Structure 1
Amino acid sequence: MQTDFGALTSSVKKVWAMEIWQAGRDKSFFFANGFIGKNDNDMNSVIQRVTKLTETERGTECVMQLVQDLQGDGVVGDNKLEDNEEQMVNDAQTIRIDQLRHGVRSKGSMSEQATVIRFRATGKEKLSFWLSDKLDELMFLTLSGRSYGLHTNGATRVGSQLPSLSFASDVVAPSTNRVMYAGTATSEGSVTAADKMDWSTVVKANTVAQEKRLRPIREGGKEYYCMVIHPRHRRDLVLDSTYQTILRTAEKPGAKNKLFTGAIAVIDGVVIHAHNKVFNTSGLASGSKWGAGGAIDGAQAMLLGAQAGGIATIGDMGFNESDNTDYGNRPGIAAGRKVGFLKPQFKSTYDDNAREDFGTIAVKTAAAA
């Protein structure tokens, strides 16, 4: 029977590493749907990608530059512009880097023979899915301001090393003026079953984003925000009578930009996407959820503008084989990547210089099963 246990050359390992990374990117929600920038200079994307190190006073760091739009009126006619230029306000954010790895090991040559599988090929596929899954999970938790000690359904992780990542301590809860609730709710504890995702909630979130001057994504001469909602949100939104009525004349998602092709709809300039890793309380026991008595299931949608988040990917994807293989009977392979995640914050002049999330608004609603 043909096997794939032979040693791989270093060049083949590089190819396999890149294939795992590429497959992981293709399966990742944020990469596949155009949320992540194409290069370090792409500041018009929801997630800015940083791939280069920058020399700073503290040494070599991974830096994300937040750049706000100009606010001044300029000068007219022949009035003097010299000494009246507007100072560009930029805020350098450091994304801390750590290594994230995982591996698989064969059960042994007899097991391989019984199941007729090619260990390396199957392992490579599983590792690429794991990579995309973890990248998405970490990004959802980061943007939602939820600890890496939690799953995205609110349940506590057991035996996980994710809370030990160097950038885990940089995860911060949604800032005071970047949180809103559906219906009449004003806190997680006051959410009722009636406070569901609907058309008006999306429109109100868009209004908040504009008033707080979240920088929009510019595409085709227009300005947009994105909102990522939970599948339960999607159900409630689709069943909303106003949504059903207005959607007939609503803007249709565009065909060129990935950000639009995977969208459910575009509502009032908000591009709607749905994903099951949006933070929710379905993994918590009754009494620990939201609402009176902690009995209401809820979910936290995310309205996102440009540079809502940052991801750093430094160096190449790593791929290695285990040295401890039980004399070649139990081969193992591993893949890893140096990455970092950040939800940037800045001093907002529209919130009395309070430190606020730069490009995210948390939208909390009921989300019944």
Structure 2
Amino acid sequence: MDELLIKIRQLLAQGNIKDALTLAESIQDEYWRGYALKWVSEAFAQSGKEEAIQIAQDIPVESLKNETLYSLSYIFSKNELFKLSVSVARMIRDPYLKKKAMRTISSNLAKVIITKGVNEIKLSELQLDERDIEELKPLPYGIIYKDKKLLVGSEVHPIKGELKHGILFMESRQLSKKLKYSGEIEKVAKKEDLEALEFLFKSILQMIQKGYLSEAYNLARNLEEPERSKLLEAVGIEHLKRGDLFSAESILEEAENADSLALEIFRVYLLLKKLKKAREIIFKIKDPSLVLLAVYEYLKVELTFEIFTVFARLSGYKFGRVIKFIAFEMLKESKESGDFELLKRSRKIFLLGKLMHKGIY
């Protein structure tokens, strides 16, 4: 028996599926024949051939047949043969495996839509119909069905039934809900929602890497914080890499927290010698350590006390200490590089810091 099963495996590895099927059908023991047919059926499915379904149906052991049908459903959906995948899933008699198969198809469906970088897709393009969608519900996080289309990043208003873009849909069965006094609905994400959000986050990052910046932007801006800002910032930085300063700065205005993007835009303006714009961008940076870094880099280009107004919220004592810190760092760099002009500048900054420290300036 072992030698026969090994031979079948070898034939499948060589792509000789028909001979493997002939051998599998010759096995007398129902259990082992079922296992061999499972392997053959999966091999046919990988090639997108519907013969796989009939082979699976011929498996004599019911539990093994259900497992094989689940496997075929998964393979077909991975290969974007969604109609075939749903049809196979319907054949599964085990309720748990059937439900699991439908959820797997639904998840693979979402991955395909998001990877394509589109906001909507017609059912006909996926060779699906309304009955298929009903069986695939609940749809994954961020996907909704309306008017024979699957939409990304949308929500149906719970009372009016209107479609509202700009809010990612969370399937009601995946959420705990409670009414506030204002009548609004608060959505509390469970573990499944967090997993779905992580998948969506990674998918949008992949879109950015592939250069689908417009599509990634449209999806990212519909998310909640902090994911929204993180992804918008990634889109902005990619625009900057492509030399599109205008788009990058527009995204900076829209994102709530995008310090890394702000710092990179600041550096571009500094390089272009547009110092007024560079100073303006510094005030958009929220992280104190990045503000300090930006001020230091600016002072290496131009010594102007106006730049220190970014620290205006600090007391005179703390203000002075910050300025003296910058002076010492610049002094250190000037000694290492032998830059005499930088050395003179560090001394002027130090004197200012000394006065501020004493509360004289």
Place the TM-score, normalised by the shorter chain, in its bin.
under 0.3
Q: TM-score under structure 2 normalisation? A: 0.20
Give the structure with the higher percent strand. Answer: 1
Greater relative CO (CA pairs within 8 A, separation 6+):
1
Report which of the two structures shows the higher radius of gyration computed on alpha carbons.
2
Q: TM-score under structure 1 normalisation? A: 0.20
